[in-house]
Amino acid sequence: MSWDVFISHASEDKDAVARPLAESLQTSGYKVWYDESTLTLGDNLRRSIEHGLANSRFGIVILSPSFFAKKWPQLELDGLFALERPDQKKILPVWHNVTASDVERFSSFLAMRLGVPTSTGLENVVKKIIDAINRESAIHSEPASAVSTPRLHPHSIEMLQVALEANGEIMTLWHLGGFSVTAGNKPLGHEADPRAIALNLHCLEELVANGLADRRSEHLCVLTQEGFDYQIPTGVTEAPAPQFPTLTEANLGNAKELMKAAVAGNGRIMSLAHLGGHVFQAGGRSIETGGDRRAEARWNSVLNELVTKGLLLQHATQSYLVSHLGFLWTDTVNKQDAQK
């Protein structure tokens, strides 16, 4: 796991509870996913939060009147509920200016869990959270904040090694010929090959997500202390097996059509509005809606789901790139269709 805890909160509770709690846990040696310290300019908010939820051992949920009134924190809570297993707790409730009756009205599931009120003081809240983490760690024999070496894609490891020889810097640049990644004077992957571009983007995100590199600017990543200290696990010659998402059945046929065309071309999809309606360009193929609003809505639904499920990356307002996972998914789809 990349983080010990994920902090879900309403923005109104940031100053009073969320930030002091995050700082106290970090001072105590715990890795904390907290928006102010984890997100950087230009990050895809939904993808970053989904990644944080999936890669945190526990979710601290700051329940308050503001939390109950907002949609976004509740979506994070739904994500934590979905990740929780019957044999292992994931959600750690913190009550801020709410009573047991308030929590009961909001969620009967949460009301059955013991929460710690902020009225007892920050020090007590932190102590209760650490006690819960340590107790759960003892049960499952998984010590919090244990020094770990994440299993990376071999290309990510190559990036690290090349960056180590170049003062810890990785430079990235979008240009007319494609997307280049260099460390020192060494280019990583063919800059005009859409698969190489997708792999480079994937591996950069992997380094940042695992805390091995920091994004200093749009074009510069710098290795962290963890990146400099990374020990390559023995026998890592293949990438971890990809976990393919399940797409909505109604979108699946159109998704295959778009992705296959994009992968057979330049790995890009464009969504362009014009006087006659809308056109979706995938690789060398154009799909006209002819002004049909239902058709336009369907294709936009497909695009949104492909982005949400990580098969596409939104490069600009109307431009999409097939992700590394998207290339692998489409290869699998092509193989399955060929066997039918």
Question: What pLDDT band is residue 42 in, cutting at 50, 70 and 90?
Answer: very low
pLDDT at site 48: 45
- Does the pLDDT of residue 149 top 70, yes or no? no
DSSP-derived secondary structure for 169-238: EEEEEEETTEEEEEETTEE-S-TT-HHHHHHHHHHHHHHHHTTSEEEEETTEEEE-HHHHH--PPTT--S
Most confident among 23-32, 101-110, 229-238, 265-274 (mean pLDDT): 265-274
pLDDT at site 24: 87
Q: How far apart are CA 163 and CA 221, in angstroms?
A: 9
Q: pTM for the full model?
A: 0.55
Mean of pLDDT values over 211-239:
81
The amino acid present at 215, given as its one-letter code, is: R
Mean of pLDDT values over 181-191:
75
Question: What pLDDT band is residue 243 in, cutting at 50, 70 and 90?
Answer: confident
- Does the pLDDT of residue 328 top 90, yes or no? yes
Neighbouring-strand partners of residue 60: 7, 92
Q: Which residues are catalytic?
A: 76
Q: How far apart are CA 305 and CA 255, in angstroms?
A: 9
